[in-house]
Chains A and B, each alone.
Chain A
Amino acid sequence: MRDEVEDNGPWFGVFVFVIVVLFAAAGAAVVHSLMATFG
């Protein structure tokens, strides 16, 4: 990477973590809704 570009350190990992948690929460909500529908 070019010298003048700042390194993002661990923050891409933080971004991935937040996105994974949110998709897991959305997935859990969908599963819960389907269980409420068919359960």
Chain B
Amino acid sequence: MAIGLLEGTYGPDGFRTCEVTGLKIHRSAEVPLKMFGLTAVVALILGGTAALLVALTRWEAVGLLQPTQFYKYLSLHAWNLLIFWMVFMEVGILYVGGPIVLGRKLPGTKLAKIGWVVMVASAVLIEYAIWTTTYPNQQPLLTSYAPMKSSALFYLGVDTFILGTVVAALPFFACIWQEKSENPNGTLPLVTFGAFVTGIIAVEALLGGLITYVPTFLWRIGIVEHIDAAWYRQMYWIIGHGTQQINLAAMITSWYFMTHLTAGAEVVSEKVSRGAFILYLFFINMGAAHHLMADPALTAGWKMWNTSYAMYGAVLASLIHAFAIPAGIEAGRRKRGLGGDSWFGWLKTAPWHDPGFSATALSIILFGYLGGITGVLMGQMQLNTMRHNTLAVPGHFHGTVAVGTTLAFMGLLFYVIRLFFKKEWILDPLARLQPYLYGGAMSIASMAMMEAGIVWGVPRRDPVTTSIPGTSFSFSAASPMLAVLGIAAAVAVLAGAIFVLVAVGSLLFGKEARMRVPVPLSLTGSERPVHGFSMRGTLAMGVFFMLVFVLFYGLDWMWLSRLWTFGT
């Protein structure tokens, strides 16, 4: 069955033409894409199951897990969802953005398969290491901060997973190399360009990972005598946050791809959008510094340069994409004559019934409001002090990787199922509801974490905060908010289960797909260039977003001024 799912019908030259997009798709790219996509869903199942157990523990009235079990499942949750689900999807996105969009073979298909095998074996090793960790080893969580020792197998698994990912990414770079060699004056399509920038950011993050984890493994098995904890922290965040930057760039590449495919979006200005990707290339890695705001080993100048100056280059890039993509939807739909001439007719008539579009649109909106605004606030040295190590931090990153990247990837997978596996979605009403249920519930969970962290200072990573043994110190006032978190997270996991049910069920039992997208992709309307159409609806939404941004910025400074006086 699994082998059958990977196969398709190709011509003698190994290519087929997608009836919807017109893309020439070669078997050598499509088969690995399916392998990586299916593996990502397995990681989603494992990480989502662990998420439910973690959430029902942080809802302390339920208190499901004992502390030792809590840290095991928190580690499994982190590695499956923040790393395996994301990275397997992202390698797949490289294959879409490279050979599939360019209409080329994937060079070095064996490398892609070897990379996949190494990555899967490494992921299994990491899962095993976490599952079997016993004292004196400690659960790694995501950070595995030295000098705390985790299982040696864990560090070995991380090293080989990184190597496997590099190997799997090599065919993508070879494909870009071939394309540019044959067309030295040609311009890469924007989606390919975005995937290429994602790939470069990935290589930087992965090299940082090897610099961090190879010496740490050698230290763990006794070959290296000492590892400097401050060095580890600084090096770790090259990959620790770098992987999240890969998520960001891959997610935005997916936003451009999916809004065009499902809503008829056109890129209003290629130069501006490409410029924003280049800003990411130079500045997004500075975002990693915000993890080290309270680190005593680093100077204030280092922290301020990286977070309060350089990082704004990346913030600018995100704001450009946040305007360019909705503007592309608006102008593209106006050019196709969809939605009339009113301010928001293009939005009202958009394919909200299509889970590929609704997941992508919700991802854009929720990422901006929940993950984006809080990320900028947390990335500022002064404001960071209010949130550091509180539950507001996971509140932020569930606003980025859960309602942002995960939702975007779910939307993408809906179309991988239809256009690549050629299967209709089963349980159609559930498929349509799923993005709303997941996006809504996960947003509530994210906001509950932020509220508990900011108002009461509830710590992150701690299963017991309302009755801390041996002390009268208690966060019990936050109990109602922790209940909101638990309930919302359980609903979000249910929505995740619906996604898996629809995805796996469609692959196994779905009818052959009627190949279609909700809008005609060919431009047969006006001859005017796309940037000649009004984007006033997007401008209005952009101004509203900035007002909310300013409101929360002001509120945070007001709250900071009322806390305590530093240094006295």
Binding site for B on A (CB under 8 A): 1-2, 4-9, 11-12, 14-15, 18-19, 21-22, 25-26, 29-30, 32-33, 36-37
CB of B352 within 8 A of CB of A8, answer yes
Beyond A12-B349, A12-B350, A33-B455, 8 additional contacts (C-beta under 8 Å) are: A5-B349, A6-B519, A8-B354, A11-B432, A18-B440, A29-B450, A33-B451, A37-B559
Which range contains the number of B residues in contact with the other chain?
35 or more
Residues of A within 8 A of B353 (CB): 6-9, 11
Query: When chains A and B are docked, how far (Å) is the Cα of A30 from the Cα of B347?
Result: 28
CB of B432 within 8 A of CB of A25, answer no
In-complex Cβ contact of A26 among B338, B354, B447, B519 (8 A): B447
CB of B443 within 8 A of CB of A22, answer yes
Residues of B within 8 A of A14 (CB): 352, 433, 436
Query: When chains A and B are docked, how far (Å) is the Cα of A9 from the Cα of B349?
Result: 9
In-complex Cβ contact of A29 among B348, B440, B447, B559 (8 A): B447
Residues of B within 8 A of A8 (CB): 349-354, 518
Contact of A22 with B455 at beta-carbon distance under 8 Å, contacts A8-B351, A15-B352, A33-B559 already known: no
Query: When chains A and B are docked, how far (Å) is the Cα of A1 from the Cα of B351?
Result: 12
CB of A18 within 8 A of CB of B352, answer no
Residues of B within 8 A of A29 (CB): 447, 450-451
Query: When chains A and B are docked, how far (Å) is the Cα of A15 from the Cα of B349?
Result: 12
Which A-B residue pairs are the 5 nearest by beta carbons? A11-B352, A11-B353, A6-B518, A8-B353, A8-B352
Residues of A within 8 A of B439 (CB): 18
Query: When chains A and B are docked, how far (Å) is the Cα of A27 from the Cα of B96?
Result: 40
Q: Does residue B562 face the partner (Cβ distance < 8 Å to A)?
A: yes
In-complex Cβ contact of B519 among A5, A11, A19, A25 (8 A): A5
CB of A21 within 8 A of CB of B440, answer yes
Q: Does residue B122 face the partner (Cβ distance < 8 Å to A)?
A: no
Residues of A within 8 A of B447 (CB): 22, 25-26, 29
7 examples of A-B residue contacts, CB within 8 angstroms:
A4-B520, A5-B338, A7-B353, A11-B353, A11-B358, A19-B365, A22-B366
Q: Does residue B265 face the partner (Cβ distance < 8 Å to A)?
A: no
Contact of A32 with B349 at beta-carbon distance under 8 Å, contacts A15-B436, A37-B559 already known: no
